[in-house]
Structures are given as structure tokens and as C-alpha cells.
Amino acid sequence: QELTEVRRWEGARDVRPLNRNVRHWEGLLLPNTPPYNAGAFRFELTFSPRHPLEPPRATLRTPIYHPGVDPEGHVCQPLTTHEHWAPATRALQVLQDLLLLLDSPDPQRVLRPDLARELQEHPEEFRLRAREHTRLHAEPRPDPSG
């Protein structure tokens, strides 16, 4: 049911169980704002056997130049920490929160302080580097009808 809900959302495409494992999804996130909206970013969402009592873990598999995502794809996402997790939270809300992080880097949600500092002190340089990194690493955006 949650997978169907996510598949109808316009912020992601090609969402499906990875290796037919219903506890491990993959798909493409489609950021809305520059510099990331020139590409699509592959994500994985991994659910604990105790879900919904425990939060899922979101990971970006596409490299991204972003202060809230580390080089291994771990995401600074307070929503999915044990302190903030609510069992009623839907997978769609986790992905919407992740997309919001990509669209609007938040100085309070930082895993790469060097990039956060660059964004605050030299925003144009940051945007140029992020745009080039997106061009080199992001996947092509799928057809909007798909």
C-alpha cells in the first residue's frame, strides 16, 4: 500500500523493491530546484523488520555535492532518527522530507561542514560546483509522463 502511494507521487520515479525485497526499495528522486533539478538521484529506502516501530533508512546512491549528504550517501534526516520517529509516519513522508532536503540545503542538517560553510560564505561557487557535480554524476531525468 505504501509503495503504491509513493509510485503515484511526482517527486520520484521507478520506485520498486530492490531484488524483490519488499523491505528494500530503490528509485529516482527528482529535485525541483537548481542546481540539482538538472538530474535524477537514485535512492534506497531500507525498512527494519520492526517497521513501522523503527524508522527506515534513506541512502542516496548517486553522488551529490550537498552539505546534508555525506560521500557514502548517508543523509542527515532527523525525521528518521529514533528520537523523532513516529510509527504513523509514511514512507512517502520520508521521501518528501528527503526531497525537501535536496531542494533546500539546511544549515541545521549537515554531514559535510565544509560544504555548508562554502554554501554560506560563497554561495555562487557552491552552486557552480554543485551544478557541475550534478551534470557529471546524476542520472538523466526520466520522461515526465513516465
> What's the predicted TM-score (pTM) here?
0.93
Return the pLDDT at 145.
58
Residues labelled as active-site residues? 76
Calpha distance 80→52 (Å, rounded): 11
Please list the ranges in the chain whose pLDDT falls under 50. Answer: 146
Q: In Å, what is the CA distance from 103 to each residue of 26, 38, 77, 132? A: 19, 12, 14, 16
Return the pLDDT at 106.
87
Residue 144: exposed, middle, or buried by beta-carbon count in 10 A (0-12, 13-18, 19+)? Answer: exposed
Extract the C-alpha cell encoding 112.
559535510
**Domain residue ranges of the chain, discontinuous segments joined by +:** 1-137
In the 8-state DSSP scheme, what is residue 7?
H
- For the domain 1-137, what is the CATH code? 3.10.110.10
